Structure 1
């Protein structure tokens, strides 16, 4: 306990204990409680996370695509991490400036090979429009071998990108019922079913429904087929080299 959190931080948890709370619902991925000074695992009374939570059950709504930091909450708080979905992804909009640039690029593609004079005029217009929206400096167009290709690639990247819209509200949306059920089951002292972690927006449909107790690694999926195949090749090569150099198989490994 040589390194102390500030007094107001400790006082809050002491106040909770004075209120006689039955469980602690820790909201936010991630908080600070699981990162306080002390041992990494198997905490003792001299470790701040253990000193502040003691025997409280800790339920921790946690974003489902962050298993690394969820594992920290499990190791140092003994938390039941209730997975919730990330914020919804929406398609990026090009905006007015990039919209005009996109229209010019489309015109250029139509004119290329059909109307060389119009194509050259459009090339100049595209360069002017790119400069007007600040892409000349951003993309380093002045010394580029093919500035048009850079501009086109940038606009395509923007159009194809997605971003999180706002924040997820726990217990709402398509997975809301499952998330509420998981939290209420934990508060009732019932078992919260385990579930995998990962991003549902990157092909991990198995993380749905959320509201389950996250785990970082599924031992049934390790090693992958590719990793197992590579391991077989390495083992065979080791045996081959030993036989070649020593004239006998390995006795122990």
Structure 2
């Protein structure tokens, strides 16, 4: 892959705080392909290339968790040929980039019910998780067969016999139980919705929407999103004056 020359870490450091957890809705592959007279699958293949670049830049920037919405629980409703192609692309990407994640010491995780995925995909996912389980600095999380409503149902089923339940009980049974909530959620392609993605975890996340399609989302676009994040004041229900007093 041709690496773009960038000073992202230095520039972002000048912008201000770095989010601990960034979640991205990788949207626009199909429209990107259509505008170029290509198949939707071609758009997905091009989008897969951006994953590696964004992972590399997030590691350089000091982002601890990067969570990518790769395949939603609703995506099974897409044409069967497209779904089959996406599963093949997932398997090929794991085989192609897995060694690089190991070399860069990026821990690989998933959220969502991967038991519904093809067996070869499950095996590849679990293998990469095992090989990277001892890395702690950087984490790449793929949301596969994931939907917030489905996640909540699974969490409730785990704790249904407990009786009175508080938020802590639910949080401890979500797919993201051992992860911090996302500080920043990015959505590409111009759509302005969360599409059943990390709905419970995003209660106080900063949202960033860009018209750029995912296949065109590169290191510079990530830098732009992080600099915008650094400008925002996160109050968590408090006033600005209260935050200043606590400082």
TM-score, normalising length from structure 1? 0.27
Bigger radius of gyration, 1 or 2? 1
Q: From the two aligned structures, give the one with the greater strand fraction.
A: 2
Higher relative contact order (CA 8 A, sep 6+): 2
Normalization by structure 2: what TM-score?
Answer: 0.27
